[in-house]
Structure formats: C-alpha cells, structure tokens
Amino acid sequence: MALSASGKSAPRVCVIGAGFGGVSLAVGLHKAGIDDFVVYEKASGVGGVWHHNTYPGAEVDTRSHWYSLSVKYFDWPRTHGSQQTLESYINAIVDDYGVRNRFRFETAVTTVTWREQEQNYRVELSDGSVEIFDVVAAAVGLFNVPRYPDWPGMADFAGPIFHSARWEHEHDLAGKRVALVGSGSSAIQITTRLAETAGSLTLFQRSPGWILPKGDRDYTAEEREAFSKRSTYRRERIRLVIAEHRRFSGGSATTPGTKKNLGAKAAAEDYIRTALKDRPDLQVAVTPDHPYMGKRPIQASGFYEALLRDTVTLVPSAVTEVTPKGVIDSEGRLHECDAIVIATGFRATDYLGEIELFGRDGREIHEQWQGEPDAFLGLTVPNYPNFYMLYGPNTNAGSITSMLEVQSAFIVRDVRRLARSRSGALEVRPFFHRTYNRWIQRRLAKTAFAQADNYYTTPSGKLVVPFPLAWIYYWSMGRLLRRVSSRRIPPTTTEARS
C-alpha cells in the first residue's frame, strides 16, 4: 500500500470487540507506534464477557495473576478475579495506556468486504455508516452470543425469564421460586449464590460435569503487599505458567487413560464422595459418564454443599417445555416457579456469527467454512487478506489471556510489516493452513474432547474450539511460523488461487 486507507503511510486498523482480546491488541498497536486504529464495541463499555456477565457469583476459574495481561500489574484482592474486579482491571488498562479515545461503543460491525482493487476493507457499521480500513481484526471471542433454547411456551410464562449472560437485575429473586437450567460454570456459580437467597431453587441438569475445588479466597494484607513488588508478581505469573505447562505438556492431561487424566478424575470423584457423603442419590446424579476433560472441567467451591440445602432441588433431566406456571422436564413433570434463569451457554462454534465477511473472490467466510470453521493458528484464513481473529478456531487452552497476547503480537508484527512495505497485503499460504488444521484434528482425535457431547464440536462432530497442547506450544508456533506462513498479495493481483 502506497498509502493507507486514511492517506497515511501506516495501515489503518479496525478492531472488533473490546474484551481482553480487543484491549490487548489496542495496547499492542499503541505501544508499537501504530495509532491509526478504531475499536468497535456493540456494548456500552469495555470488558467483553466481563461486561455482560453480571450474574450473582460471576468469577473466573483461573488464578488472577495468570488470567491477566502482562502489560498491566494489578492489586488483585482475591486468588480469582470476580466480574466486577476484572471489568475494573480491563478499564484500568485502557486508561493507563491512554487509548480510550480509540473506542467506539454501542457500535457493531455488521459487514466487512475486501476490495481487491484498493487492497483494503469496506466496513459497514450498525449505525449505517461505512469506514475503510487496511487491516481488520475480529476480537469477538467465543462467549459473546448467548445460546437460547427453543422450548415451546416460553412467551407464555407469567414471570421473568432471561439468560444468565444477560442478567436482569430489576427482578428481585429473594424468596422466590427459581428454576435454573444448565450445568456449566455459570450455572454452578449461580446455584451457589441463589441457594442463599431464593425461597427455593430447582436446578435442571441435562448432564453433569467434573468439578474440582476451586481454592478461591481473599489474599491477606501481607500477600497483597508482597505482590505489589513487580519481582514477586512476575514470579507468581511464571510459577503459574510452569504449572500449566506441566499439566498439559504433551497432551497427557487431556488424553483418557494417562496418569494425569486418571489422577484428575480420581480427585473429582473423591470430591463428590467427600462433599456428598450422606447423599448417595446426589453422588450418582452429579457423577459424569464421560472421561475427565471430555467437557470443560469446572472449578467451584460450595456447589455440592448448596445441593444439600433443603431449599435446593437437583433435577437430573432436561427442560422440554414452559407453561405459564413453570417448566416441564423430559419426564413430563411440571415444576412450578416464579422465575426462570437460562444458563445454557453460548454459540461457541459459530465464529464471527454476527458478522458478514467477504473475501477476495466475493465469498462470505461462513460459506467457505460450511459450518466447520478453521484458521491457521486460529488467526488467519486463506482468501481473506489482512484479516485476523483473536480467540479464533482451536485456540482455547490454558489462560486465554496469554493466548490473546500471542495473537495480538502476531497481528502487530504483521501490521508493522505492512507499514514497512507500504504495498500489497498479507495472506496465509493455503499449504500452511491445510497442514496446520490436519495436525490439529489428528491431535484432538486422541483427546477426551472427542469422547463427549460438548460445546467444542460442530453438528458434524468436528472439534473447533480446543487447542490440544499447552500454551507454550502455541506461543512457539506463533513466533516460528508467522513470517514463513504468509505470502504477500500484490496490488490488483489476478493470480489464481492455489
């Protein structure tokens, strides 16, 4: 590019989404001296999932010093960050680096179209306006579009009914009969909190997940003082990185039958027996029939204890219908309630689900994917030059914040490469894209992910969410393969696709 879309020598960058991914990339671009970028966010503020998920008990299950960005040290009050703390942390990063003026809130990106002649993208926004960018990076993540069930009768229910990711705080559930549907992390956290205040809580569990104690607690004043020293803070991050690498190195933790995998399963089974020692019926109901790691393991404190309350009922059945008075389970039983909370997760495999992206041949990316999304390193796809994803296909592993920093660095280096050349565009070589994704699927076929019904898979059964190894492997590939994996597309090229 002789000049960028804005007439400057540096590329103009569009970032979609203001969660950890979008903020990480914004800071990376700013630190690299690339300030011609805009971050579009459909919500009213930064934070991504930590802006939207305000349900009672919302908290991350990764240790605070690991679930954070290396660009910002923070005085963490707890071992695991709550929703409020994490949202404050992300806002602090934006303000510390002075990039808030680059964010456009309550503005969604709807359509992105590559213009071959001009070598840039036409970006259409929800307010009807159009902008031109040289580079587009989608940081919309996995958990931005809630999955709503299609139960008959939902519109007829007499009380409030809402998704956990869009909590309606105007409804006071204290003393009310609440039906909670789901068995993932959100449902587990909500159960623990609502059990303390609801008049009665009925939890509908289609299939249980493996749970281990979270070990969450407040840091002592002495610990917080120690972590205020950067050397201590960094050592804690390094310690957690090493622990994660040991756990997932070689894929042993995710492979059924290995010592690590069986050891984790045994620990989860022991937790069930210990916490529910006087309730063999509950022990049976909460014990999964899939291998450990077949579904995303849950780290939680107090859930099993909450099930022992007289006001809490576990129904090991799915909900099939809603009536004006309550819900009907798969056994045909009516459970009357005053409110229904839907904790049925997200459309995790529907990457870029709310965005239309048209590439070099005019083909929309979902048409190219045919329901089975893939990307080189989860970042780039042939036919879509200068387009990147953060938290794209098969990049869920370890602490996602660290994965996002690897991806942000990859994108920043490519943007700087474009700025130096001032011509053409970058596109992943089809050979690298094909080879990488074949390797990913071969590795994943050996894991427990392939042996369970989980949100990692497409309807055809292809695993498109997890990365099969430890974070360090992804970090290494991101550094070693970045330059050789891409090719330059000259301006106004008519070259045939390989």
Same fold, 13-145+348-489 and 154-217+225-342: yes
What are 322-325's contacts with CB under 8 Å, separation 24+? Answer: 322/151, 322/152, 322/153, 322/154, 322/156, 322/157, 322/161, 323/153, 323/156, 323/157, 324/153, 324/156, 324/157, 324/158, 325/158
Determine the Cα–Cα distance for residues 329 and 320; give it in Å rounded to an integer: 5
What share of residues in the chain are helix, strand, coil (percent, to 5)? 35, 20, 45
* Paired strand residues for 174: 198
Q: For the segment 354-363, what is each residue's pLDDT rounded down to a tens digit?
A: 999 999 999 9
The pLDDT tens digits of the residues spanning 453-464 come to 999 999 999 999
Q: Which residues pair with 209 in a beta bridge?
A: none
| Nearby residues of 477 by Cβ (< 8 Å), 6 or more positions away | 377
Please give the pLDDT value at position 490.
Answer: 78
- In the chain, the amino acid numbered 96 is D
Domain range annotation of the chain: 13-145+348-489, 154-217+225-342
> Which pLDDT band holds residue 483 (cuts at 50, 70, 90)?
confident
Superfamily grouping for domain 154-217+225-342: FAD/NAD(P)-binding domain (3.50.50.60)
> What are 323-329's contacts with CB under 8 Å, separation 24+?
323/153, 323/156, 323/157, 324/153, 324/156, 324/157, 324/158, 325/158, 326/157, 326/179, 327/151, 327/179, 327/181, 327/204, 329/204
Residue whose tokens read 């459909």: 42
Distance CA 63, CA 78 (A): 9
Measured CA to CA, the distance from residue 362 to residue 117 in angstroms comes to 13
Query: Rounded CA gap, 4 and 332, in Å?
Result: 62
Per-chain mean pLDDT for the chain = 94
With beta carbons less than 8 A apart as the criterion, state whether 197 and 177 touch.
Answer: no
Confidence of residue 9 (pLDDT cuts 50, 70, 90): low
Write phi, then psi, for 50 (nearest 5 degrees).
-85, -5
Closest CA to 28 of 109, 121, 142, 137: 137
Residue 405 has pLDDT above 80, yes or no: yes
For the stretch 44-84, pLDDT in tens is 999 999 999 999 999 999 999 999 999 999 999 999 999 99
- Cα separation, 344 vs 147, in Å, equals 6
Domain at 13-145+348-489: CATH architecture:
3-Layer(bba) Sandwich (3.50)
Residue with tokens 């991914």: 21
What is the pLDDT at residue 248? 79
